[in-house]
Amino acid sequence: MREIIVSELIQALQELARGFAHYLPRLVVMLIIAFVGWVIAYVLKVLVRSILRLTRFSKLSDNAGATQLLNQAALPSSTELVSRFVFWVAWIGFILLGVSVLGIVGLQEYISKFFLFLPRLFVAVVILFFGLLAANFVSRAALLAAVNANFRSSRLLSVSIRIIVSIFALSMVFEVLGVAEETMLIAFATVFGAVMLGLAIAFGIGGKDLAREFLEKRLATGKKEEKEDELSPL
């Protein structure tokens, strides 16, 4: 009886040792891949940071209004954030590559999904950035045009335009990421429709006096505008 137990134990230990011996090289390979991946990811981070600094990416980020958002959220600068993003994506990619060497059944599928997801993630980040840039540019252009035309609610107009463009960009981001596509589509349509309806009602009800005043000024008298228009700048 005792001999059987000892023999079974020895067999189990031998199998464990064989299994460990079988996995050890793979584990070492995984660790080497993870380490090399860390080095490559770090080099990539430094490289991306230098390129972004050389191309004055921070200025573009300022223009997009992204810097302001990051400051408010107490996050690092956009250059630092992008370089860190590249570092982590690259390193996680290498770690997963290393894990795949271990040959654990079931993990392979998730790893390949992750690699397939990377291009979409990159496109989503690019869309988000340029969306913010466009929102900032268009809203500032509207603000300047409205102020110079002496429009009373210039800020409101500018903020509305910024929100609409940002929502549009965000909905595109979610669509690219494939996150709750239908929900996002419905949410976007609802929000957009609500904003437009709200604006229409606001302009219709709230702006009737303004419209009357405008029409009276344009059609009835035609004199008030002249009062400040007799100064020729050149």
Partner 1 sequence: MAEETLLSDDFLRQLINVGEVDILVGLPTHNNAKTIEPVIRAIQAGILKSFPRERAVIINADGGSQDGTPEAVIAASIDDAQSASKKYTLRTLHSISTRYAGSPQHGTALRTVLAAADLLRAKACVMVSPDSTTIEADWLERLVNPVYSENFDLVSPIYRRQKFEGVLMRNLLYPMTRAIYGFRIREPYASEFAISGRLATDFLNQETWNDDWGKIGAEICLTVAAITGKYRVCQSFLGTKAHPDRSAGDLVAAMRRTVGALFPLLDSNVPVWSAIAGSQPVPTVGAQSEVVAEPIRVNRKHLREMFASGVAQLEPVFRSILKASTLSELKRIAALDVSEFSYPADVWAKTVFEFAASYHRSVINRDHIVQALVPLYRGRTLSFLLENRDASGEDMEKNVESLCGEFERLKPYLLEVWADRK
Site track 75-114 with partner 1 (rule: CB under 8 A), x = hit: ----------------------------------------
Binding of partner 1 by 229 (CB under 8 A): yes
Tokens describing residue 109: 């599928």
Query: Residue 79: CA atoms inside 13 Å, Cβ hemisphere, count?
Result: 16
Residue of 4, 148, 205, 219 that binds partner 1 (CB under 8 A)? 148
**How far is Cα 78 from Cα 66, in angstroms, rounded to an integer?**
7
> Quick one: which segment of 16-24, 26-34, 58-66, 166-174 binds partner 1 (CB under 8 A)?
58-66
Residue of 150, 182, 205, 209 that binds partner 1 (CB under 8 A)? 150
Binding of partner 1 by 51 (CB under 8 A): no
> Quick one: which segment of 103-111, 138-146, 166-174, 180-188 binds partner 1 (CB under 8 A)?
138-146
Any idea which residue has 């940071």 for tokens?
49
**How far is Cα 192 from Cα 200, in angstroms, rounded to an integer?**
12
> Considering beta carbons, is residue 3 or 226 the nearer one to partner 1?
226
DSSP 8-class letter at 207: T
Binding of partner 1 by 175 (CB under 8 A): no
Binding of partner 1 by 3 (CB under 8 A): no
Tokens describing residue 151: 């429009």
Under 8 Å CB-to-CB from 134, ≥6 apart: which residues? 165, 169
Residue of 46, 147, 186, 194 that binds partner 1 (CB under 8 A)? 147
Q: Between vectors from CA 186 to CA 183 and to CA 189, what angle results, nearest 5°?
A: 145
**How far is Cα 102 from Cα 82, in angstroms, rounded to an integer?**
31
Positions in the binding site for partner 1 (CB under 8 A): 59, 62-63, 137, 140-141, 143-148, 150, 152, 154-155, 226-234
